[in-house]
Amino acid sequence: MLELRPTCEHCGRALPPESTEARICTFECTFCRACVEGVLANVCPNCGGGFERRPIRPKTALVKHPPRMDEVRKPVDEAAFAPLRAARRGVPPTER
């Protein structure tokens, strides 16, 4: 089951469970759409994979399976990330 992290790991933007702006990688690293498209170029700085839209958990399921409450903040060091982003930018996630 997905953790549903409450904020973007890079910029700290709120990403509540119903947000259509949340993007996740296969390891559930969570970023907002603006960071994924702008800063990250669809390359996860933690695993190198790509991102997909995070699914919306039905409100009825939130009672039994609530979202994570604490933030996971790992702002991206853009200078350190630049080589990975350059190497993987333009390479489809299915081919990384």
Domain ranges of the chain: 22-91
The per-residue pLDDT for range 13-36, each reduced to its tens digit, is 999 999 999 999 999 999 999 999
The per-residue pLDDT for range 27-84, each reduced to its tens digit, is 999 999 999 999 999 999 999 999 999 999 999 999 999 999 899 999 999 999 999 9
Q: What is the pTM (predicted TM-score) of this model?
A: 0.89
**Which strand (E) or helix (H) includes residue 32?**
strand 30-32
How high is the pLDDT of residue 1?
85
Asked if residue 13 lies in contact with residue 71, where contact means CB atoms within 8 angstroms, the answer is: no
How high is the pLDDT of residue 45?
97
Query: Do strands 30-32 and 52-53 pair parallel, antiparallel, or not at all (unpaired)?
Result: unpaired
